[in-house]
Structure 1
Amino acid sequence: MRLDQINILQGDAFVVSDRQGDINPAANVPDGLFYRDMRHLSRWQLRLNGHQLEALSADNLEYDEVVFFLIEPTGTIYRNPSLSVTRRRAVATGMQERITVHNFGNTPVAFELTMIFDADFADIFEVKDQMSKTGHLYRHRRDGGITLGYSRADFRRETHIDAPGAFVTEESLTFRYELPPGQEWGIDIQIRVGVEVDAALQRRQHHPDMPYSIREWLDASPILDTDWDDLLHIYNRSLLDLAALRFYPFVGDRASLPAAGLPWFMAVFGRDSLLVSYQMLPFHPELAYTTLRALAERQAIHEDDHRDAEPGKILHELRNGERAHFGERPQSPYFGAADTTPLFLIVLDEYERWTGDTQTVQDLEPAARAALRWLETYGDPDGDGYIEYQTRNPRSGLVNQCWKDSWNSVVHPDGSLAKLPRATCEIQGYAYDARRRTARLAREVWNDPGLAERLERDAEELYRRFNTDFWLPDLGYYALALDGDKKPVTTLTSNIGHLLWSGIVPPERVDALAALLCGPRMFTGWGVRTLADGQPAYNPLEYHNGTVWPHDTAIAAAGLARYGHRDEANQLAMGLLQAGHHLRHRLPEALAGYPRKNTLVPVLYPTACSPQAWAAGAPMMLLRMMLGIDPEPDTLAVRPHLPEDLRRLALHGVRFRGARVEALAGTAAHDLDRLKPVPGARELQ
Structure 2
Amino acid sequence: MTELDERKLDPAAALALLDEMAPREPHRLFALKQGDCFAVTDAYGDIRGAGDGFFRDDTRVLSEFRLTVGGRQMSLLGASLSQDNVLFTSNLTNLPIQSAAGRDIPQGAIHIERVRLIWQDRLFERITLSNYSREHSTITISLHFAADFRDMFEVRGSTRPKRGTVHVAKTDKASVLLGYDGLDGLPRLSAISFSLAPDRLSDNRADFLIAVTKRSSRVLYVEVGPGAEETPSRDRFRAAAARARFGMRAKRRHGATVWSSGRVFNDWVERARADVALLTTELPTGPYPYAGIPWFSTAFGRDGVISGLQMLWLNPGLARGVLAFLAEHQATETLPFSDSQPGKIMHETRKGEMTALRELPFGRYYGGVDTTPLYIHLACAYADRTGDMAFIDKLWPSLKAAAEWTEEASRETGFVTYQRAAESGLANQGWKDSFDSVFHADGRMPKGPIALVEVQGYVFAAYRGLAALARRRGEFADAEHWENRAEEMRVAVERDFWMDDLNFYALAIDGDGEPCKVRTSNVGHLLYVGLPQPERVKMVADQLLSASFHSGWGLRTLADDEVFFNPMSYHNGSIWPHDTAICGVGLARYGERDGVVRLMSGTFESAVHFNMRLPELFCGFIRAPGEAPIAYPVACLPQAWSAGSAFMLMQACLGLEVDGWEGELRVTRPRLPIGIDMLTIRHLTVGDKSVDLTFQRVGDRVVAFLADRYEGLVPLIVRT
TM-score by length of 2: 0.87
Query: What does residue range 418-567 of structure 1 map to in structure 2 within 5 Å?
Result: 418-444=446-472, 446-567=473-594
Aligned to 1:276: 307
Q: How does 1:224-243 map to 2 (within 5 A)?
A: 224-243=258-277
- Of 163, 170, 192 in structure 1, the residue corresponding to residue 225 of structure 2 is 192
Return the match for 2:148 from 101, 120, 125.
Answer: 120
- Residues 1:416 and 2:444 aligned together: yes
Secondary structure at the aligned position of 1:213 is classed as helix
Paired residues of 1:116 and 1:171 also in contact (CA < 8 A) = yes
Distance 1:465 1:571 in 2: 32
Alignment length (residue pairs): 660
Matched, 1:287 2:318: yes
TM-aligned CA distance change 1:614 to 1:666, over 3 Å: same
Q: Which residue of 1 aligns with 2:59?
A: 38
Q: CA distance change for structure 1 residues 545 and 80 in 2, over 3 Å: closer, same or farther? A: closer
What are the within-5 Å matches in structure 2 for residues 275-424 of structure 1?
A: 275-377=306-408, 379-380=409-410, 382-394=411-423, 396-424=424-452
Q: Following the alignment from structure 1 to structure 2, what is the Cα–Cα distance between the partners of residues 107 and 299?
A: 67
Deviations 1:428-476 (A, max 9, x none): 00000000001111111x3311111110011111111221011111211
Question: 1:505-524 deviations in whole A, cap 9, x for unaligned?
Answer: 01111110111111111111
Q: Could you list the per-position Cα deviations for residues 639-661 of structure 1 after superposition, in whole angstroms to 9, with x for gaps in the alignment? A: 21335654333322223323222
Note the C-alpha offset of 1:94: 2.3
Range that drifts further, 569-578 or 465-474: 569-578
Of 11-20 and 99-108, the range deviating more from structure 2: 99-108
| 1:230–1:580 Cα contact (<8 Å) kept | no
Cα displacement (A) at 1:39: 0.8
1:177 shift after superposition: 3.4
CA distance in 2, matches of 1:97, 1:655: 39
- 1:9 alignment partner in structure 2: 33
Counterpart in 2 of 1:642? 672
Which residue of the partner structure matches residue 201 of structure 1? Answer: none
Measure how far apart 1:489 and its partner are.
0.5
Q: Which letter maps to 1:612?
A: Q
| Preserved contact between residue 182 and residue 188 of structure 2 (Cα < 8 Å) | no
Q: Structure 1 unaligned runs (5+)? A: 196-208
- Alpha-carbon contact 2:135-2:213 (below 8 Å) kept: yes
SS in structure 1 of the partner of residue 156 of structure 2: helix
Q: Which amino acid aligns with 1:94?
A: R
Distance in 2 (alpha carbons) for counterparts of 1:506 and 1:548: 27
- Supply the AA of the counterpart residue of 1:13: C
Q: Distance in 1 between matches of 2:299 and 2:271?
A: 21
Amino acid at match of 1:315: M
CA gap 1:401/1:678 in 2 versus in 1, 3 angstroms: farther
Instruction: Give the CA deviation at 1:272.
Output: 0.3
- Structure 1 runs of 4+ aligned residues shifted over 6 Å read 75-78, 209-212, 668-671
- Over the residues paired in the alignment, what is the CA RMSD in angstroms? 2.6
Structure 1: which amino acid aligns with 2:263? D
Percent sequence identity is 34
Q: Distance in 2 between matches of 1:79 and 1:310?
A: 67
The residue number in structure 1 matching 2:129 is: 101
| 1:43-86 deviation digits (Å, cap 9, x = unpaired) | 11112232222222221124131122222212699945443322
SS of the residue aligned with 1:608? Answer: coil
Q: Is the 1:279–1:618 contact (alpha carbons within 8 Å) kept by the matching residues of 2? A: yes
Q: What is the aligned counterpart of 1:67 among 75, 81, 89?
A: 89
State the secondary structure of the residue aligned to 1:58. Answer: strand
What are the superposed Cα offsets for residues 592-645 of structure 1, whole Å, 9 maximum, x if unpaired? 111113773211122111111101000100111111111334212122133565
Structure 1 CA distance, aligned partners of 2:46 and 2:433? 33
| 64 and 315 in structure 1: CA distance in 2 versus 1, 3 angstrom threshold | same
* Cα drift, residue 313 of structure 1: 0.5
Cα distance in 1 for partners of 2:389, 2:568 equals 45
Aligned to 2:189: 158
> Does the residue aligned with 1:256 lie in a helix, a strand or coil?
strand
Aligned pair in 2 of structure 1 residues 522, 107: CA closer, same or farther (>3 Å)? closer
CA contact (8 A) 2:301 2:348 kept: yes
Alpha carbons 2:144, 2:205 under 8 Å: kept: yes
> For 1:681 and 1:230, how far apart are their aligned partners in 2?
34
Distance 2:609 2:178 in 1: 41
1:136–1:477 CA distance, 2 compared to 1 (3 A): same
Range with bigger deviation, 146-155 or 284-293: 146-155
Cα displacement (A) at 1:479:
0.8
Separation of aligned partners in 2, 1:612 and 1:108: 46
The answer (yes or no) to whether the contact 1:11–1:244 under 8 Å persists in 2 is no
Match of 1:204 in 2: none
Match of 1:661 in 2: 691
After superposition, what is the alpha-carbon deviation per residue over 1:379-427, rounded to whole angstroms, capped at 9, x for unaligned?
A: 22x5222100011111x10011101011110011233211111100000
Q: Which amino acid aligns with 2:417?
A: E
Q: Which runs of 5+ in 2 are unaligned?
A: 1-24, 99-103, 229-242, 714-720
Task: Please give the per-residue CA displacement for 1:251-300, whole angstroms capped at 9, x wherever unaligned.
Answer: xx7x3110111111111100000000010012222111111000100000
In structure 2, relative to structure 1, the CA distance for the partners of 1:364 and 1:79 (3 Å cut) is same
The question of whether the paired residues in 2 share the 8 Å contact of 1:637 and 1:675 is answered with no
Which residue in 2 is equivalent to 1:199? none
For 1:677 and 1:432, how far apart are their aligned partners in 2? Answer: 41
CA distance in 2, matches of 1:211, 1:442: 43
